[in-house]
Structure 1
Amino acid sequence: MQRTKGPWLGLILFIVLLVAGGRVLWLWLDRPIDRVSIRGEFEHVSADYLREQLAPLIEGQSWLSLDLGELRQRVRDIGWLAEVRVSRQWPDALTLELFEQEPVARWRDDALLNPRGEPFAYGSVSPPEGLADLAGPLGSGAEVLTYYDRLQRRFAALGIEIRQLRLEPRGAWRLQLDGGVWVMLGRSVHDARLARLEAAWRRQLGGEASQIRYIDLRYPNGVAVAWHGETVPVEP
């Protein structure tokens, strides 16, 4: 029995030394992060904004122990970032490739929409001017943005733009034209109602838009126009 202890003892010592060596190597490699490189093209956010937002996420982290997946998700939660790629650079650096959100509309007064209709917070960064103001129930951003694009193309033939578009909780739509006129579209038969509006706009309403408060299309025939202090039906 004594003869068998030698090989086993040697194996155990080898494993202990291997583990100890691996631990020493890990500690040597797992040094504090010293440099962070940021790559990307940014139109709306500044380098100072990004540094301010990123610093608390990386402070106190070490090079090997850092969970890149968790860091990527936390960085994505920063406003204005659509996508994030994170990689380690030997011996103590990180590289972050950041892709900025593209704002195409305001959303519910406190957010912006990207081209996919996904809302994102804009924080302390001022949104660009001239964006349409859209709103709807939670989760309806893509639907509202798609309908806004359709209406924009349709109203372009009349030489007007849509300033605001609202989808109400019960499914009714209303919109504001660039001259300030509100249009009550309702919940159904939108194409027929819009066709009546287009005909009335070309015939009469377009030349008197500055005097109109709102146009109500929720009638079987014709439209109702609210002028300054009175409502007058307009025949189709």
Structure 2
Amino acid sequence: MWDNHKLLGGVASVLLWVSALLLVWAGVFWLIHSPLFPVKKISIEGRMERVTPVQLRYIAEHELRGTFFTLDIDATRQAFGKLPWVKEAQVRRRWPDQLDITVSEHKALARWGENGLVSTEGQWFDAASDQSLPVLSGPAGSEAEMARALERFKAILAPAGLAPVRVGMNERRAWRIGLSNGVELELGRSDVDARLARFAQSWTTTLAALPYRIETVDLRYPNGYAVRMPDYKAPPAQ
């Protein structure tokens, strides 16, 4: 082998190329990780009403790590996503030293029991709000379904001048609604929208005119409903 000059020349050429490639790789690695390319500017955009500049500045100062090339985009996106009202953060590099971050916020639709909020997209998120919001309660994982139901219930009740302030669905998928006028509705598990529409029509034509306080309306009957009026006293029998 050592007498084979052609083979030795080939091996030497390969080693030379490998050495050159390793040298180039080392140079690129050093350049990428060197302090010559720091992130000097951070541009944050988006229509923000709940996320404050102080919160954004804190994330930028304490959570972002690395140079322009080595900064982890996914980790940066997740860092801004930790803020309570942030729905999504999009992050991209802009040569030579800037990060462009676009933040979008959740829009609260309702409270989820006593724990967090539900967005207009049916997503639960952990944040506090001083808004006057309806309260939803239901099985875990039903947030999106209940958000859609709340919007339907609002539309059905609006012509009667009523609005839901509490909407609950139990494990058996039976619905109960608390209205803005204090009336509680039992809707059961089936034909919920149709039953609610029947109530809205009856409220406008009949129930609102009754001279008694209505406490609950049970709509779980195929062709009617039962009304509980604590102040009502039946007339004496003749």
**Does structure 2 retain, via aligned residues, the 8 Å contact 1:196–1:223?**
no
The residue number in structure 2 matching 1:65 is: 70
Residue 193 of structure 1: CA displacement?
A: 3.3
- Report SS of the residue matched to 1:14: helix
Output the CA distance in 2 between the equivalents of 1:231 and 1:134: 34
Residues 1:117 and 2:119 are matched in the alignment: no
The residue number in structure 2 matching 1:51 is: 57
**Does structure 2 retain, via aligned residues, the 8 Å contact 1:29–1:91?**
no
The residue number in structure 1 matching 2:170 is: 168
Matched length: 228
In percent, how many aligned pairs have the same letter?
Answer: 32
Residue 82 of structure 1: CA displacement?
A: 2.1
The residue number in structure 2 matching 1:101 is: 106
Q: Which amino acid is 2:123 matched to?
A: E
The residue number in structure 2 matching 1:219 is: 221
- The change in CA–CA distance for 1:156 and 1:27 in structure 2 (over 3 A counts) is closer
Aligned equivalent of 1:134, options 133, 136, 139: 136
Structure 2 stretches lacking a partner, 5+ long: none
Q: Could you report, residue by residue, the CA deviation over 1:167-220 in whole angstroms, capped at 9, with x for unpaired residues?
A: 111110000111121111111233553355335423442145982222222335
CA RMSD of aligned residues (A): 3.0
Residues 1:197 and 2:203 are matched in the alignment: no
**Does structure 2 retain, via aligned residues, the 8 Å contact 1:179–1:209?**
no
- The change in CA–CA distance for 1:223 and 1:32 in structure 2 (over 3 A counts) is same
Q: Give the TM-score taking structure 1 as reference length.
A: 0.79
Structure 1 stretches lacking a partner, 5+ long: none
Residues 1:90 and 2:90 are matched in the alignment: no
Output the CA distance in 2 between the equivalents of 1:12 and 1:154: 74
**Does structure 2 retain, via aligned residues, the 8 Å contact 1:193–1:217?**
yes
Output the CA distance in 2 between the equivalents of 1:164 and 1:34: 49
**Does structure 1 retain, via aligned residues, the 8 Å contact 2:91–2:101?**
yes
